Amino acid sequence: MADLLSVAKLAGVSRATAARAFSNPELVRALTREKVLKAAEQLSFRPNKVAQQLRSQSTQMIGVMVPSLDNPVFAEQLQAMEVTARASGYSLIVTTSEYDASQESEIVEEMLRQRVDGLVLTVADADNSAVLNKLLYEHPPCLLVYNPPGQSGFPSIGVDNLAAGADATHHLIEQGHTRISMVAGPLLQSDRARQRYAGYCQAMAAHDLIPRPLVEMPRHTQANLACLTPELEGEYHPSAVICTNDLLAISLIGELQRAGFAVPNDLSVMGFDGIALGRHLYPSLCTIEQPRAAIGQAAIHTLLSMINGEMPNPAPLPHVLRSGESVGAPAITPSLSITP
């Protein structure tokens, strides 16, 4: 395998100049740099990145923790992050917590051992997080994504979940719905869902309507109709439900249709996230759309500014309401029943 000295000899420069062409190319004349790179290509030489990192005390790597890769929301965020990071000479180390707060500390500790230059995290509950409390003490550059800013002490990139939850509720009320429920995964595993539920409660109260207790599903992205059945069979059954993410809404629509319900004639269903899949279903999903790519791009730009010593205070990014066939005017029916 060729070494740096061989490259320097072939290019007709000193070893120091050849090394500088790789580590600080802006300090080497263009013609000389071209000779070094051409020699390296001819000899199939690759510079030792680990050695460069040891000298610079920078790995040019960013540690990223998301709850899951099953949800397109996180996949789209990561794609935008990877492209933006690569343009700045950085790579990503990506891990998943599977919505398990007990794993977060171990995951972050492993990334810190790999000497990442900074962290981009989505945790279960930013205001009650053991790993964030530890990071506040150790002070590595750290940024939250999707978590509400709250009292964590870390900057956060995402939408205003409370306002978005309220906007979803207002939209249903404008369609004529007054009996609206909200469905979520395990609430203790998502501070985003709690904020969206708080927005729902605010909107209901603003219209002198009574908010209903949140219906929790055992899993974040998979509906279990049995959890909603008591409400659906009650005298004052809901005419519309808001799900705290799109995959949960899509799953719920399937469960409802298999049980004999028509969406939206019997029950309107609204999502939250705006993933592309929701457009291609029938009925197409009405949802609150988050700017997933913009969130990923902003996360990298913000973290890099933190690595450079700045203290950013990012504002929430805008959300929009995406109309869809899963929401319609409430039907006048005395009751709903589950098809056996």
Confidence class for position 65, pLDDT limits 50, 70, 90: very high
Its CATH architecture, for the domain 161-285, is 3-Layer(aba) Sandwich (3.40)
Give per-residue pLDDT as tens, 98-115: 888 889 999 999 999 888
Give per-residue pLDDT as tens, 271-323: 999 999 999 999 999 999 999 999 999 999 999 999 999 989 999 999 999 99
Give me the residue spans of the domains in the chain.
Answer: 4-55, 58-157+292-317, 161-285
Confidence class for position 340, pLDDT limits 50, 70, 90: very low
What fold, for 4-55?
Answer: 434 Repressor (Amino-terminal Domain) (1.10.260)
Residue 333, pLDDT score: 56
**pTM, whole model, 2 decimals?**
0.81
What fold, for 58-157+292-317?
Answer: Rossmann fold (3.40.50)
Whether residue 207 has pLDDT greater than 80:
yes
Whether residue 255 has pLDDT greater than 90:
yes
Pairing of strands 286-289, 320-322: antiparallel
Instruction: Tell me if domain 4-55 and domain 58-157+292-317 are identical in fold.
Output: no
Sheet holding 91-96, edge to edge: 91-96, 61-66, 118-121, 142-145, 156-157
Any idea which of 57-61, 145-149, 258-262 has the lowest mean pLDDT? 57-61
